Amino acid sequence: MVKDYAKKYRKLEYPMSRRKNNAILWGMLGISVGLLIIGLLFFLKSAPKEKSIQPIEKKRKEIIQTPTPKPPEPQFDFYNILPHENLNLSQQGDSVMQEMPFSRSTSITSLESRSIDAMMSTTPEQVAIAEAKKQLEEEMGRLNNKPYILVLGNFTDRIHAEQLQAQALLKGIPVRKKVIWINGKPTYQIMMGPVDLNQLSNEKKRLNAAGLSAIVVKISS
């Protein structure tokens, strides 16, 4: 007996198409829900910005519209007093001009009289101090004229003396060698000078800068 397979195939085709339609509906529903959520999120994010922008614009408008207060005008009483008073300034100006030359002459004469009185009223103590200063200046002048020498060293050996002389000359110090006879024996002296009292301090500074030491000796007349 032959079976009818066509009926079975027709029965199976219907449920398959129904499942496909249900899947499409669910997909469309999911897409619509997702779009709705995205739209809500976008709206929520943009809404605070618009609200924050509006108060700032309102504040700007208020600042522009508010007028700056004008400073109060000064009120002085002498604006009202001066027009009602008559001042005679000519007499006062003449009196001032007449008094000025007299005051200058009196001030000059007073200064001259004070200086003369100060010169005449010198005490004996002041005179003694002035004389002491003069004597000190004269003595300092005499000391400045007296010559001095700077002795770098005294040697019994001529070679040692010449070594010190060469060392000083290489450093730019103008020294010279002098022979002194003591008890019939020669002594070689390396010296610098003669110099006066004013030059003495400068030459000592030069020697110290060059790393050399010296003794100050005054030449007796």
Position 187 pLDDT exceeds 90: yes
Between 182 and 97, the higher pLDDT residue: 182
Tens-place pLDDT, residues 188-221: 999 988 888 888 888 888 899 989 989 988 887 6
Q: How far apart are CA 55 and CA 120, in angstroms?
A: 91
Position 45 pLDDT exceeds 80: no
Residue 147 binned pLDDT confidence (cut-offs 50, 70, 90): confident
Average pLDDT of the residues of the chain: 70
With vertex at residue 81, the alpha carbon angle to CA 78 and CA 85, rounded to the nearest 5 degrees, is: 130
Question: Which whole number is the average pLDDT over 170-186?
Answer: 91
Residue 104 binned pLDDT confidence (cut-offs 50, 70, 90): very low
Of the candidates 202, 198, 197, the residue with the CA atom closest to the CA atom of residue 174: 202
Of the listed ranges 24-38, 100-114, 136-150, the one predicted with least confidence: 100-114
pLDDT at 167: 92
In this prediction the pTM is 0.36
Tens-place pLDDT, residues 79-99: 454 444 444 544 444 444 444
Cβ neighbour number for residue 175 with a 10 Å cutoff: 23
Percentage of the chain lying above the pLDDT 70 cut: 48
Domain 141-218, architecture per CATH: 2-Layer Sandwich (3.30)
pLDDT at 186: 93
Residue 125 binned pLDDT confidence (cut-offs 50, 70, 90): confident
CB 114, CB 187: distance < 8 Å:
no
Tokens 């003794």 found at: 215
Burial class (CB in 10 A: 0-12, 13-18, 19+), 192: buried
Question: Which whole number is the average pLDDT over 158-184?
Answer: 91
